[in-house]
């Protein structure tokens, strides 16, 4: 009997990836292309919506061509995507708006309005303050509003295009709801109370479905564009963060994951819904558990710093095909913990939790003896300090949780220097898996569950996961960092009013 294949598609901040897995978890084909974000002006960040679908079609075609996989042996398609923005579509499922990203602060006034007037209610119901729900208020003031039938996520946009559905059949899975400001996350439903309070037209919102629900099958048109067969089941899919957690095997309370890409996220699985203003609570796409997460744009800040302050090395690495970040890791690994007294704030265009679009970057404590390498290391350390803060918050809410190891996910998992810093600060081992793009792995597991290829999530996780290496903490190394952790947390609080004066004037 021929193996059955699972096609997983990951729509991330910087890349679109297509990966074909077989039933044993082995990769049979993969392709990816860069997703280009447009920055028209400071504080603006948008992605052309059709780019998600066009890159997906191209990459599927590449995978089928190079692998010679029989399209008729594909059991299911699952898509995950970035979670912090929205796309407005018309009745025929065509985009009316660009993908309005979480980095775009044109909606700062709407964000501030929702936070000041309904912030606590939003937090109590959704497990998070608004990340994209207030964007509906922004678009309500724009000419495009009347043409928009639904607001959806990129994963639903691509899945819907492949399945040929219309706006009335649009959908969203519960993993996206925490950022909506419009849900009751504990019951995975839209909140009539919040929808009425914010004066949102409920008809603009998609139907809430399970991540494993089949929303349609590939159409003839999609087959022609991609090389796929007609009639392949497509499941609803979920957010990229939660897909990554599933791919890393973070499925039981107390298990943790560190996602290091453009964003840096610490996720902790918990057994029940709770909320705190400094973290977000997300629903698992495959169980009744939840995830608490923090989010800082550390990877994006590292990219900015490397481009602006190591431009010559970056140009050299592009010519030679080497890795600028690997070079920098080697250069900074012997700098003293705490970067010789230098602490970085790395939220260069706003902070997610609690939401504050006015937050900007800062280096505290630099002297004439500091070099640009110290500054680079301080950015790496700032992510570890933020993780320390997140763990402390969750431990206070769930004191019984046994937090004893962390799965390393994303491109940042390639950095042994960065993982060692995090392991030392948290005094926890970090395990590296054979694959670091675990969102595609999680999406494949969800695809398999959707069509009954796996009995349950535990069986699928055991079948697909493979640990490559463990980074162990140096005993008591955290003691050298603790005063800098405290300085980081205090600096976040002290700078809030100053940044608001700069931003809102």
Phi, psi of 219, rounded to the nearest 5 degrees: -90, 170
The answer to whether 99 touches 48, Cβ cutoff 8 Å, is yes
The answer to whether 37 touches 60, Cβ cutoff 8 Å, is no
Domains of the chain: 5-236 (3.30.420.40), 242-297+400-437+444-474 (3.30.420.40), 299-387+478-504 (3.30.420.40)
CA atoms of 61 and 184, how far apart (whole Å) = 40
Looking at the DSSP bridge assignments, the partners of residue 84 are none
Tens of pLDDT, residue by residue, the chain (505 residues): 466 899 999 999 889 999 999 988 899 999 999 999 999 998 899 999 999 999 999 999 999 999 999 999 999 999 999 999 999 999 999 999 999 998 898 998 999 899 999 999 999 999 999 999 999 999 999 999 999 999 999 999 999 999 999 999 999 999 999 999 999 999 999 999 999 999 999 999 999 999 999 999 999 999 999 999 999 999 999 999 999 999 999 999 999 999 998 889 999 999 999 999 999 999 999 999 999 999 999 999 999 999 999 999 988 888 888 889 999 999 999 999 999 999 999 999 888 888 788 899 999 999 999 999 999 999 999 999 999 999 999 999 999 999 988 999 888 999 999 999 999 999 999 999 988 778 999 999 999 999 999 989 999 988 888 899 999 999 999 999 999 999 999 999 999 999 988 887 6
Helix, strand, coil content of the chain in percent (nearest 5): 45, 20, 35
The answer to whether 23 touches 77, Cβ cutoff 8 Å, is no
State the pLDDT at residue 273: 97
CB atoms within 10 A of CB 40: 10
- pLDDT tens-place string over residues 461-480: 888 888 999 999 999 999 99
- What does the DSSP 8-state code read for residue 434? S
The answer to whether 63 touches 30, Cβ cutoff 8 Å, is yes
State the pLDDT at residue 28: 95
Q: What is the pTM of this model?
A: 0.90
Q: Dihedral sign for Cα 300, 439, 458, 470, please.
A: negative
- pLDDT tens-place string over residues 363-379: 999 999 999 999 999 99
CB contact burial 208-227 (16+ within 10 A = b; e otherwise): bbbbbebbbbbbeebbebbb
The answer to whether 21 touches 28, Cβ cutoff 8 Å, is yes
- What does the DSSP 8-state code read for residue 209? -
Query: CB within 8 A of 364, min separation 6: which ones?
Result: 342, 343, 344, 345, 487, 491
The answer to whether 259 touches 298, Cβ cutoff 8 Å, is no
State the pLDDT at residue 505: 66
CA atoms of 445 and 7, how far apart (whole Å) = 10
The CA-based diameter of the chain, rounded to the nearest angstrom, is: 69
| DSSP output for 95-120 | BSS-EE-TT--TTHHHHHHHHHHHHH
State the pLDDT at residue 51: 98
């Amino acid at each position: 009997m021929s193996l059955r294949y699972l096609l997983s598609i990951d729509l991330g901040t910087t890349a679109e990836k297509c990966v074909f897995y077989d039933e044993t978890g082995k990769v049979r084909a993969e392709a990816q292309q860069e997703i280009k974000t447009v920055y028209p002006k400071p504080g603006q960040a948008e992605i052309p919506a059709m780019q998600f679908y066009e890159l997906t079609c191209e990459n599927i075609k590449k995978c089928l061509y190079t692998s010679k996989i029989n399209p008729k042996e594909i059991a299911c398609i699952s898509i995950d995507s970035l979670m912090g923005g929205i796309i407005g579509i018309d009745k025929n499922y065509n985009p009316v708006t660009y993908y309005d990203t979480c980095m775009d602060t044109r909606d700062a006034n709407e964000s501030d309005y929702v936070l000041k007037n309904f912030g606590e209610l939003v937090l109590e119901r959704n497990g998070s303050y608004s990340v994209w729900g207030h964007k509906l208020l922004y678009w309500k003031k724009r000419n495009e509003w009347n043409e928009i039938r639904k607001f959806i996520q990129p994963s639903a946009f691509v899945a819907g295009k492949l399945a040929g559905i219309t706006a009335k059949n649009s959908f969203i899975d519960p993993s996206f709801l925490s950022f909506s400001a419009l849900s009751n996350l504990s019951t995975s439903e839209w909140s009539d109370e919040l929808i009425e309070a914010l004066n949102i037209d409920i008809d603009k919102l998609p139907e809430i479905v399970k991540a494993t629900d089949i929303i349609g099958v590939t159409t003839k048109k999609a087959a022609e564009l991609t090389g796929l067969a007609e009639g392949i089941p497509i499941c609803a899919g979920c957010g990229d963060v939660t897909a990554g957690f599933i791919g890393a095997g973070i499925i039981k309370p107390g298990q943790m994951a560190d996602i290091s890409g453009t964003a840096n996220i610490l996720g902790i699985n918990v057994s029940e819904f709770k909320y705190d203003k400094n973290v977000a609570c997300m629903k698992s796409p495959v169980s009744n558990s939840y995830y608490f997460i923090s989010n800082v744009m550390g990877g994006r800040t590292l990219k900015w710093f490397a481009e602006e302050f190591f431009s010559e090395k970056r140009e050299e690495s592009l010519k030679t095909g080497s890795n600028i970040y690997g070079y920098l890791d080697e250069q900074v690994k012997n700098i003293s913990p705490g970067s010789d007294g230098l602490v970085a704030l790395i939220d260069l265009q706003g902070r997610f939790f609690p939401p504050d679009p006015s937050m900007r970057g800062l280096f505290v404590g630099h002297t004439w003896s500091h070099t640009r390498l110290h500054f680079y290391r301080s950015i790496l350390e700032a992510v570890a300090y933020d993780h320390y803060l997140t763990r402390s918050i969750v431990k206070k809410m769930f004191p019984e949780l046994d937090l004893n190891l962390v799965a390393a996910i994303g491109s940042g998992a390639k950095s042994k220097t960065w993982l060692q810093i995090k392991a030392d600060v948290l005094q926890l081992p970090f395990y590296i898996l054979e694959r670091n793009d675990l969102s595609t792995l999680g999406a494949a597991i969800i695809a398999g569950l959707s069509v009954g290829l796996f009995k349950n999530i535990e069986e699928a996780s055991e079948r697909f996961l493979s640990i490559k290496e463990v980074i162990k903490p140096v005993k008591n190394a955290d003691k050298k960092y603790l005063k800098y952790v405290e300085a980081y947390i205090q600096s976040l609080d002290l700078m809030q009013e100053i940044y608001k004066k700069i931003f809102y004037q």
